[in-house]
Amino acid sequence: MKDKTLIGGIVVMVVGAVLIGVVWLVFFQPARTPSAPLTAVPITLTGDSNQFTIFEIVPTESLATFTLSETLRGLPTTVVGRSREIAGQIAIDFENPANSQMGPIQINARTLMTDNEFRNNAINNFILDTEQYELITFTPRQMTGLPSEFTAEEPIELQIEGDLTIREITKPVTFAATVTANGRTELNGSATAQILRADFGLQIPDAPGVANVSDEVQLTFEFTAKLHK
């Protein structure tokens, strides 16, 4: 009987130690830092490259955000995560804007931060597993709504269809975007899409005081792109 009690006690201690370790890894282990500076993937152009003017997103003047809702300690809460580590290139054909193209847009997931340190650690260490999957990538396939003629300072509303990769899962996503050309030297714009966490297998760890985390997540890019040198 004593042996069984002893074994039971050892099992409880081991399970408790494992649980403590898991909690530490998920909620207390600090968020990871980027392994290297984020740089734009050079755009692969379709057609005569001499037709295009290449613009590159300026991280310090751009912002990627995700927004979702949760109940935190009984209170409805809007969670916003932000990162300026965003990179990508856009190719504009000013003579025939409908031919314009966009390269892959990347975000360093390790730099996504909310207003809560424990939430940030959970995002990095568990939800996005940024040790293994450092980058989130959107690869455009088609842009619709581009005009036939270029007009400076006139906002253009368009749809950008592509493939979004979060961790090891890739899904088709369409962004509703608005882009304005400041002459022929700068682009300013924003793009928004709605995704479902479940589509990308993004699970929320159990945490005291956290409940009702929405499956719907809004993704937004606000960007400034300048002439690529």
Which pLDDT tens digit goes with each residue over 117-166? 999 999 999 999 999 999 999 999 999 999 999 999 999 999 999 999 99
Question: What pLDDT, on the 0 to 100 scale, is given for residue 207?
Answer: 84
Q: Are strands 169-182 and 135-144 parallel, antiparallel or unpaired?
A: unpaired
List the chain domain ranges. Answer: 31-227
Contact assessment for residue 109 and residue 122, using Cβ atoms and an 8 Å cutoff: no
Contact assessment for residue 224 and residue 55, using Cβ atoms and an 8 Å cutoff: no
Question: What pLDDT, on the 0 to 100 scale, is given for residue 206?
Answer: 84
**Between 2.40.128.110, 3.20.20.150, 3.40.50.300, 3.40.50.720, what CATH number should domain 31-227 receive?**
2.40.128.110
For residues 189 and 70, give the distance between their C-alpha atoms in angstroms, rounded to a whole number.
Answer: 29
Contact assessment for residue 117 and residue 24, using Cβ atoms and an 8 Å cutoff: no
Q: What is the pTM of this model?
A: 0.85
User: What does the pLDDT average to over 41-50?
Assistant: 93
Contact assessment for residue 187 and residue 55, using Cβ atoms and an 8 Å cutoff: yes
Question: What pLDDT, on the 0 to 100 scale, is given for residue 65?
Answer: 98
The model's pLDDT over 13-23, given as tens digits with 9 standing for 90+, comes to 443 333 333 34
Q: What angle do CA 54, 59, 65 make, to 5 degrees?
A: 115
For residues 57 and 52, give the distance between their C-alpha atoms in angstroms, rounded to a whole number.
Answer: 16
Question: What pLDDT, on the 0 to 100 scale, is given for residue 161?
Answer: 98
For residues 42 and 104, give the distance between their C-alpha atoms in angstroms, rounded to a whole number.
Answer: 8
Q: What is the CA radius of gyration of the chain?
A: 22
Question: What pLDDT, on the 0 to 100 scale, is given for residue 29?
Answer: 60
For residue 138, give every residue at least 6 positions away whose Cβ sits within 8 Å of its Cβ, in sequence order, or none.
Answer: 104, 105, 106, 162, 163, 164, 165, 173, 175
Question: What pLDDT, on the 0 to 100 scale, is given for residue 208?
Answer: 85
Which parts of 88-215 are beta strand (E)? Answer: 89-92, 101-102, 105-108, 135-144, 156-166, 169-182, 186-196, 210-211
For residues 16 and 131, give the distance between their C-alpha atoms in angstroms, rounded to a whole number.
Answer: 25
Question: What pLDDT, on the 0 to 100 scale, is given for residue 53?
Answer: 96
The model's pLDDT over 64-111, given as tens digits with 9 standing for 90+, comes to 999 999 999 999 999 999 999 999 999 999 999 999 999 999 999 999
